[in-house]
Every structure is written in structure tokens, then in C-alpha cells.
């Protein structure tokens, strides 16, 4: 597609439920990133994929968070047993190759509210 597409744009869930957030990157972009944006906290790096592989998962906040990418395209960020502190905007970005000097193109984000 022309841009990075994320769904859902808004998600309200109850504490303890599982949620899945989807990211569809720009066609041909091999690198994909997930960030979390919390009020007043800036952007927190979560995970990076090169193709379908995530070399480093240490940025994920807890073992309730997982992410996968299939076919070198769509990625899903899953949060199990959601907690109120998971409420944030989750941003996905893609780039032609690994960051370095390459520009990241961001989606509009998925706003998660955990009640």
C-alpha cells in the first residue's frame, strides 16, 4: 500500500483480556518496527523485524508481549492479560532496510485503552 496501515485505530478492552494489534507495512520495506507512545514518555522502542526475524526481543516490556511477522509483510503485536499500564498508542513503522540513515515511515497508530 501507499503507507503504513495499522488496525484497529482504537481499542478499548477490559483488564485481563488479550489484544492483537496489526501492522501492514509499505510494500517492499524489509524492516519493521514497533514503538509504544505513552503520555509524557516519548516513544519507547519495542521490537524490530528484518524480514520475518526479530534479532532482539529485549525491548518488549514483559513476557505478556509478543510479536510476529509473516511473509516479510504483516506484523502482529499481541498483548496477553492486558493491564492498565499497557494503555498507550502503539506505533508501527517500516523502512526500506535497517534504520541507519533510512527514513522510517510511521503508521497512525493503534490507541489501546485498558479499563
The reply to whether 74 sits near other proteins by the rule CB under 8 A is: no
Binding of residue 12 to other proteins (CB under 8 A): no
Measured from the CB atom, the residue of 10 and 83 that comes closer to other proteins is 10
Query: Is 63 an interacting residue with respect to other proteins (CB under 8 A)?
Result: no
Q: Which three cell numbers stand for residue 63?
A: 513476557
Only segment of 17-25, 69-77, 80-88, 93-101 that touches other proteins (CB under 8 A): 93-101
CB 48 within 8 A of CB 55: yes
Tell me: does residue 109 bind other proteins (CB under 8 A): yes
21 to 40, contacts with other proteins by CB under 8 A? 33, 35, 40
What is the rounded CA–CA span in Å between residue 33 and residue 98?
Answer: 10
Q: Which residues contact 100 (CB under 8 A, 6 or more apart)?
A: none
Residue among 102, 95, 48, 50 nearest 72 (CA): 50
Among residues 99 and 115, whose Cβ is nearest to other proteins?
99
Q: Which residues contact 8 (CB under 8 A, 6 or more apart)?
A: 21, 22, 110
Binding residues for other proteins, rule: CB under 8 A, are 4, 33, 35, 40-43, 45, 48, 55-56, 59, 91, 93, 98-101, 103-104, 106-109
Amino acid at each position: 500500500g501507499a503507507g503504513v496501515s495499522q488496525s484497529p485505530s482504537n481499542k478499548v478492552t477490559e483488564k485481563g483480556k488479550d489484544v492483537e494489534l496489526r501492522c501492514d507495512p509499505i510494500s517492499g520495506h524489509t524492516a519493521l518496527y514497533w514503538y509504544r507512545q505513552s503520555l509524557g514518555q516519548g516513544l519507547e522502542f519495542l521490537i524490530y523485524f528484518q524480514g520475518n526475524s526479530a534479532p532482539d526481543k529485549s525491548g518488549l516490556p514483559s513476557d505478556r508481549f509478543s510479536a510476529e511477522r509473516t511473509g516479510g509483510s504483516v506484523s502482529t503485536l499481541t498483548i496477553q492479560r492486558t493491564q492498565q499500564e499497557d494503555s498507550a498508542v502503539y506505533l508501527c513503522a517500516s523502512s526500506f532496510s535497517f534504520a541507519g540513515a533510512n527514513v522510517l515511515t510511521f503508521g497512525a497508530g493503534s490507541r489501546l485503552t485498558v479499563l
